[in-house]
Amino acid sequence: MRFRQIVLIVFLVGAFWYFTSHRSPARLALSGADPVVDHSPLALTEAHAAPAYDSEELANISVYKKALASVVNVTSSVVAYDFFYGAVPQQGQGSGFILDPQGRILTNYHVVANARQIEVTLDNKHTYKAKLLGSDQAHDLALLQINAPDLVPATLSDSRGLIVGQKVYAIGNPFGLNGTMTTGIISSIRSVKGPQGALIENAIQTDAAINPGNSGGPLLNSRGEVIGITSMIATGGGADQNAGIGFAIPINTAKAVLEDFSKYGHVRRPSLGIMPLAIGPDLAEQMGLAADSGVLILRTVPGGAADRAGLRGGKERAYLGNTEIFLGGDLILGIDDQPVTNTQELSEVMNRHEVGDSVVVTFLRGQRKLTARVVLGEAGGSQT
């Protein structure tokens, strides 16, 4: 029995040696072996007509072609200091757009702040040294000028009456990628704190992708007209890139700033001299106010326009979320017979006036409806 087992083992080992040593590789090939190579010409299926664009694509292309030549790349050079107080040159990049054939360009203040040298690169790749003509830190705006031929000015629209849901386009130089266009909608219109900490009223919130390098570039409507100046982004997780929430300064605010530059050489914004809070029905009910809407005066600036006219701010400290407010102040209902139900409408009234103009303010003090004539002062900081 043991002899038979030994013979069987020898037979199996011998058979395995024979088949692995003497069979050809071709016979041992598996079914998944490499296919036979076909050396015949490769025939591609190509379109036999020019590509057709739908109406939305055509609109996008039209906006881009109209606006691109007006958008510029702004490079600023500043000097920082290292740990040993050694001078270290640094560069920052942003965008801007051409205002007139004389070479005036609008951008953000934070793009050129403290710059020792500013250069502007046009769409045709030519670069020119730029001069800072004026700046408005509160509104985060700066006016530059270059000496260059054949400039194409942007077309400025009117930012009044913008509607949430309206389509918008942003063109700029995110991360130094010149001539980049992104699209989105107006997500909201709200007041936000700008990069310099001052309040930007009626800022245009958009979901169009805005990234570092877009700052100062135009936000456009579907006709390729400028409705805002892209200024900042909400980063959410802290990364310095788009998180789907960007903000632009309304172009009407920029127009008012430019008019002041032209008249006075600096910005003179008219102001009531108040810290305002927009009131809606819910807040009005919680605060026990006698009207459903208006602008509550939280504080008056000492010696400011409202203070001189006898308007009053609040004295009772309270919190709206995490924000400290003061209750008990006058509630503004209108100016010059025009209803004022929120800070956006108040800002629009201010933009139609100049420092020194006289306006009639209608307001509630408790249950009493009163009026006061106010001579507008000059704004500063976060006052309106």
Catalytic positions are 110, 140, 215
Q: Answer whether 127's CB lies under 8 Å from 76's CB.
A: no
Locate 253 and state its tokens.
């605010």
Output the CA–CA distances (angstroms, integers) from residue 2 to 5, 7, 8, 9, 336, in the order listed.
Answer: 5, 9, 10, 11, 120
Nearest one of 175, 254, 183 to 219, comparing CA atoms: 183
Q: How far apart are CA 192 and CA 106, in angstroms?
A: 21
Within 10 Å of residue 365's Cβ, how many Cβ atoms?
16
Q: How far apart are CA 64 and CA 72, in angstroms?
A: 14
Using CB atoms within 10 A of its CB, is residue 20 exposed (0-12), middle (13-18) or buried (19+)?
Answer: exposed
Nearest one of 313, 341, 342 to 327, comparing CA atoms: 313
Q: How far apart are CA 209 and CA 190, in angstroms?
A: 18
Distance, C-alpha 76 to centroid of its chain: 19
Locate 179 and state its tokens.
């001539």
